[in-house]
Amino acid sequence: MSTSSLVLILVVVAVVLIAALVTGVVLTRRRRISLPQKEESPRSGGYQASSGFTLTPAAPEASDAEAVAAAEVVEPVEHPVADRTEVDGQPGVGDDASVPRDSVKRGFVEVDLPVEASEVEEIEPTAGRLERLRGKLSKSRNAFGTSLLGLLGAGDLDEDSWQDVEDTLLIADLGAALTTEIVDTLRSKIASSGVRTEAEAAALLRSVLVDALEPKMDRSLKALPHAGKPAVLLVVGVNGVGKTTTTGKLARVLVADGRTVLLGAADTFRAAAADQLETWGKRVGAETVRGPEGGDPASVAFEAVKRGMETGVSTVLVDTAGRLHTKKGLMDELGKVKRVVEKQAVVDEVLLVLDATTGQNGLTQARVFAEQVAITGIVLTKLDGTAKGGIVFQVQRELGVPVKLVGLGEGADHLAPFEPGAFVDALLG
Ligand SMILES: Nc1nc2c(ncn2[C@@H]2O[C@H](COP(=O)(O)OP(=O)(O)OP(=O)(O)O)[C@@H](O)[C@H]2O)c(=O)[nH]1
């Protein structure tokens, strides 16, 4: 083969190779262009992971529906142009684009962590509670204050009107004797002083009612330690009147006042009572001493006081049983609890809890309890649920024992000290 033939063959092969190369490149480009474009995700604001997870910013408080809505409507992030360092028109890179490079970097910051997680709650201030809770007496106010003021403010009262005044007091549970006394006082004062305006009638009514509540009675709660020992308070009453609740609320009052409290769950008759009391205790950081279900209440009370002396608390509150198989059994038990506690400390208060909604029944209970133990104070609960706030007057008069506390609701801080003036003001609106 001549040299020229060889050159010709090489040229032909080279041309064929170049043609094949060009064709391949063109085909490859065409194939790439014809690839179907990936559909844009409808949730362009979020990041759709290939496995189907949609990651959105956490919003713990948002409901699922709100979270989905938030993922679908995402506002474009505004670029903080003012912060940009590149004033020369050069693009920034990532986050650096908006953060000056010479800005002070955040170092470690010391943060005080709570020593341990605590369930102890905030307690409402105890001062002025009756004032703040006066709205809770609205039922009694409507039935009592509003109608009495309406009658007395109407000017000269005839016999029928005086009969209405008497009926109103009786319906409000003031009792026959006290009602007669109050009506007689009102009649003679109105006759002698010649009340003419509604304001004068209101002032007169207020002073007569406050007097009937014997404002000079000592209503202080004997709950402070003495002779190096804690004060001991027994909380007594029949079942369901609100003993456990009152004990818990009282613990809060004491803790809010800076005292330390220990609770004795001597209601061993009702299984849940000790649990209920313990929960109240935990809420204020107070220890609860309890015994076995059906155990001896006097022994629990004894142990509670012993423990209270050992730990040096200011006050031991003992919640007693409200129900036993017989009334005699209950009363004997109560006497025993008191005697046993007195072996090591003085019982400073025996607080009788009465449910204001039970009216005359409460009074009967009070008499039975008073025969057994020396009651030192009355707690009238559920005054928020009754129009018969007048029971306060009667129970105090009957027993000669001051109402010291009033329960005005199921809320943990719905226990108020009883103050005759503030109470009458709340009743009269
Ligand atoms: N509305 C209202 N409810 C109250 C008040 N005091 C207590 N209660 C409710 O009365 C119910 C009975 O209260 P408890 O404290 O369990 O009564 P208890 O006397 O200890 O009952 P026993 O353990 O069965 O003897 C609960 O539902 C309380 O929330 C109050 O002042 N107002």
pLDDT value, residue 323: 67
Q: How many domains does the chain have?
A: 1
CB 284 within 8 A of CB 252: yes
Whether the CB-CB separation of 261 and 426 falls below 8 Å is answered with: no
Ligand 1 binding pocket includes 384 (Cβ within 6 Å) = yes
Pairing of strands 287-290, 231-236: unpaired
Task: With beta carbons less than 8 A apart as the criterion, state whether 301 and 308 touch.
Answer: no
Residue 71 inside a domain? The answer is: no
Please report the pLDDT score of residue 10 as a whole number: 86
54 lines ligand 1 (CB under 6 A): no
Torsions phi, psi for 377 (to 5 deg): -165, 155
Give Cα separations from 303 to 51, 111, 307, 324, 337 (angstroms): 63, 43, 6, 21, 11
SS3 assignment, position 175 = coil
Distance, CA of 192 to CA of 180 (rounded, Å): 18
SS3 207: helix
Q: What domain range includes position 244?
A: 231-375
Instruction: Let me know if residue 352 belongs to a domain.
Output: yes
Find the 410 Cα to ligand 1 centroid distance in Å: 8
pTM exceeding 0.80:
no
Within a domain: 256: yes
CB 337 within 8 A of CB 234: yes
**Nearest CA residue ID for atom 11, ligand 1:** 242
Residue 22 resides in a domain: no
Q: Is residue 59 in some structural domain?
A: no
How confident is the model at residue 73, as a pLDDT? 43
Does residue 407's CB lie within 6 angstroms of at least one atom of ligand 1?
Answer: yes
pLDDT for residue 108: 60
pLDDT in tens, the chain (429 residues): 667 788 888 888 888 888 777 766 555 554 443 333 333 333 333 323 233 212 122 233 334 344 434 444 445 444 444 444 444 444 444 444 444 455 555 556 555 554 444 566 777 777 777 777 877 888 777 777 777 888 887 767 788 888 988 998 888 888 899 999 999 999 888 888 777 777 888 888 899 999 999 999 999 999 999 999 999 999 999 888 999 999 999 999 999 889 999 999 998 888 788 999 999 999 999 999 998 888 889 999 999 999 999 999 999 999 998 765 466 677 788 889 999 999 999 999 999 999 988 887 888 888 888 888 899 999 999 988 887 878 889 889 888 999 999 999 988 989 999 989 888 888 887
> Packing angle between helix 391-399 and helix 360-372, nearest 10 degrees?
20
Q: Which CATH number do you get for residue 288?
A: 3.40.50.300
Residue 42 is inside which H or E element, if any?
Answer: none
314 lines ligand 1 (CB under 6 A): no
Task: Extract the annotated binding site for GTP.
Answer: 237-244, 319-323, 381-384
In this prediction the ipTM stands at: 0.95
Question: Is 15 a member of any domain?
Answer: no
Tell me if 116 is assigned to some domain.
no
pLDDT at position 219? 93
Burial of residue 108, with CB atoms counted within 10 A of its CB: 0-12 exposed, 13-18 middle, 19 or more buried: exposed
The reply to whether 358 falls in a domain is yes
The alpha carbon torsion through 48, 52, 58, 64 (nearest 10 deg) reads 120
